[in-house]
Each structure stands twice: as structure tokens, then as C-alpha cells.
Amino acid sequence: MPEGDTIWRTAARLRPALAGQTLQRFDAPRLQGDRPRPGVEVEEVEAVGKHVLVHFAGGLSLDTHMRMTGSWHLYRPGERWRKPRHLLRCRLVVPSWEAVCFSAPVVRTYRRDGRAGPLGPGDDPVAHLGPDLCRTDVDLEEALRRMEEVPEPGTTIAEVLLDQTVVAGIGNVYKSEVCFGCGLDPFTPIEDVPPDLRRRLLELAARLLRHNLTTTRRTTTDGGVGAVAVYGRQRQGCRRCGTPVRMVHHGAQARSTYWCPTCQRRPGGRRAPAPATVRWTS
């Protein structure tokens, strides 16, 4: 899935083109839910976690989840699309703009007014998400509280950081980068991570996400625009100590985790053993 900053940038591009405009046409061949009618006003576009939401007057909202394949494009009327039409999943036409969503696996509408929709009465698809770290008013106390409620002992901190019901916005990049930035082995069980270190992880993730809300060249460490500490750098020397960075596909969804086995330790200074049930890339 894309990182939270990518979704925020998408919403920021769509907002000035759509918000306050009258919908002229709506196409969504695989839509789940009610269709917004031409003539309705687009009230707002926002990002919540990994979701792009378009809110229409009257209480109907469009939810698109990009996962690994989806993207939104903006075109002027008559402008040639950069992707083939068979990949269209949703199109909103307003005066002066066409907003086109390609290849998104999730395209659905829901009701914000409590009336029954495809997900049930008042079933908001983002209500279960944790606090969004891209927001300047993010509630870190709530995120820390949710960390305490992780049900399975032994769940690694890497998995917890990716859990959008705990905290929204972190993907594989920021998971790896914040664990490195805090010197924490990503395979440390959540119960072994003390409260002050949990807070440091969330504070660093929020700071890095917000730093990258306005640029496509994501930067998480010193070294110039686009520099990252460990993500995507397997076999390359750690920027701190020179040890080759390692990567594993980790957790139930085999998500990639990058780390330096020298710089990152468990609390107390112990070097963590690598997980035994993952596919290694040395």
C-alpha cells in the first residue's frame, strides 16, 4: 500500500479541482453503493489513512482505497489519458476538470448521515482507523492507548506500526525508517517496547510523514533530497556503521522490513534474532 503522505498529496491535488464544484458526470463500472447524481455539489476531498474520500452534498461519500495498484489523475476536458480506459475504476467530471481513478481495488460509496448504505446504516469505512499521523492535531495518546490493546503477545513492533487500526499512515517505508531512527530492532515484541520508546516511534513517524506531504522525493534522513536510511538499501552499507542493511518479508502479509543488524537492538541492548518464518534477502 502507499504511505500516508502519498495519499495526502493525492487529496491535495484533487481538492482545488473538485471541492465546491458541481458534478456533471460520474462513472464507476464496479462501484459498490449508491451513485452520486449529476448536479450535486462536491463538498470536500480528504485523505484519511490510506483512503481518499470525496464528500458530496446530501450525505453521500465516495471511498477509494489505492492499495498497491490504484492512482488518481487530473485531466482537462478532452485531454488524452495517460492510462488505458479499461483500467478506469471511477471518473468525476466537473467544469474544467476530469478526476479519473485507475486500478483501485476498492471503489465504494457510503452514507455520512446515518442512512442505510452498502456497508450498513452509518457504516463509515474509516471509523475503525487509528489516529492519522499526517494530521497536525493527531492524538498520540489515543494511538498509544491502542498499542496497549494489541491482542496477540509476541506481535512485533514492525507489525504494530503497520496496523492502521492502531495508527494510520505508516507503510513499509516509514515502519523501517522510524525503527532505524530510534535504534530499535523491528522484530521486538510490542510488550518489550517501553512506553517512552513507543512514543518516540510515533513522534518520529509523524514528523517524517508531515515533512514529506509536499514533495514526491521522500526524504527521511540526512544525505540530500530523496535520502533514506535503510528502506530499499539491502546489501548497502548502513549510513551509520557500514554494516550491510538486511531485508526480510515479515508478518502475516510478508511485508518488507529493512534494518541494520548492528545499529538496531532490542531494549536493553540485546541483538534480536531474526524471525524464523520469513523469506530472507541478504
> The domain spanning residue 14 has which CATH number?
3.20.190.10
In a domain, 133, yes or no: no
**Domain-located, residue 116:** no
Catalytic residue among 207, 255, 265, 266: 255
- Examine residue 155 and state whether it is found in any structural domain, yes or no: yes
Of 3, 98, 159, 177, which is the active-site residue? 3
Q: Are 98 and 163 part of one and the same domain?
A: no
CA-to-CA distance for 35 and 32, rounded, in angstroms? 9
What are the pLDDT digits (tens) for 183-239? 999 999 999 999 999 999 999 999 999 999 998 899 999 989 999 999 999 999 999
Does 175 participate in catalysis according to the annotation?
A: no
- % of the chain with per-residue pLDDT over 90: 80
Identity of residue 214: T
DSSP 106: E
Distance CA 71, CA 161 (A): 24
pTM equals 0.88
Catalytic, 95? Answer no
12 SS3 class: helix
Would the pLDDT of 151 be above 60? yes
Scanning 135-194, the segments in alpha helix (DSSP H) are 140-148, 157-162, 172-181
Percent of the chain with pLDDT over 70: 91
Residue 51 contacts residue 70 (beta carbons within 8 Å): no
The reported pLDDT for the residue numbered 85 is: 96
Mean local confidence (pLDDT), 19-44: 97
Question: Domain check: are 78 and 180 in the same one?
Answer: no
Q: How far is CA 278 from the centre of its chain?
A: 23
Same domain? For 235 and 197 the reply is yes
Residue by residue, DSSP assigns the chain as ---HHHHHHHHHHHHHHHTTPBP-EEE-TT-BSPPPPTT-BEEEEEEETTEEEEEETTSEEEEEE-TTT-EEEEE-TTPPPSS-GGGEEEEEEETTEEEEEES-SEEEEEESSS---TT-TT--TTTT---BTTSTT--HHHHHHHHHT--STT-BHHHHHH-TTTSBS--HHHHHHHHHHTTB-TTSBGGGS-HHHHHHHHHHHHHHHHHTTT-SS---SSSSTT--SSTT-BTSBPTTT-PBBEEEEETTTTEEEEE-TTT-B-TTSPPPPPPSSSEEE-
Task: Tell me how many domains the chain contains.
Answer: 2
- The answer on 198 and 65 residing in a single domain is no
Establish if 125 belongs to a structural domain.
no
CATH code assigned at 268: 1.10.8.50
146 and 275 in a single domain? The answer is yes
pLDDT of residue 50: 87
CA dihedral (197, 167, 276, 234) positive or negative:
negative
**273 and 164 fall within a common domain:** yes
Mean local confidence (pLDDT), 2-9:
91
Same domain, 104 and 144: no
Task: Provide mean pLDDT across the span 245-264.
Answer: 91
In a domain, 127, yes or no: no
Type of residue found at 49: G
Are 282 and 243 contacting, i.e. CB atoms less than 8 angstroms apart? no
Q: 162 with 243, same domain?
A: yes
The answer to whether 77 is a known catalytic residue is: no
50 is catalytic: yes
Helices (H), the chain: 4-18, 140-148, 157-162, 172-181, 195-211
Question: Taking residues 47-58, what's their average pLDDT?
Answer: 94
Give residue 151's domain range.
140-281
Is pLDDT above 80 for 277?
no
Let me know whether 76 and 194 are in one domain. Answer: no
84 with 144, same domain?
A: no
Q: Which residues contact 131 (CB under 8 A, 6 or more apart)?
A: 138, 139, 140, 142, 143, 167, 168
My answer on whether 146 and 203 are in the same domain is yes
Catalytic residue among 9, 36, 46, 50: 50
Residue 132 lies in a domain: no
> In the block, which residue shows the cell 460509496?
109
In a domain, 221, yes or no: yes
226 plus 147 within the same structural domain? yes
Would the pLDDT of 114 be above 80?
A: no
Closest CA to 107 of 79, 134, 69, 77: 69
Does any domain span residue 33?
yes
Kind and range of the H or E run holding 129: none
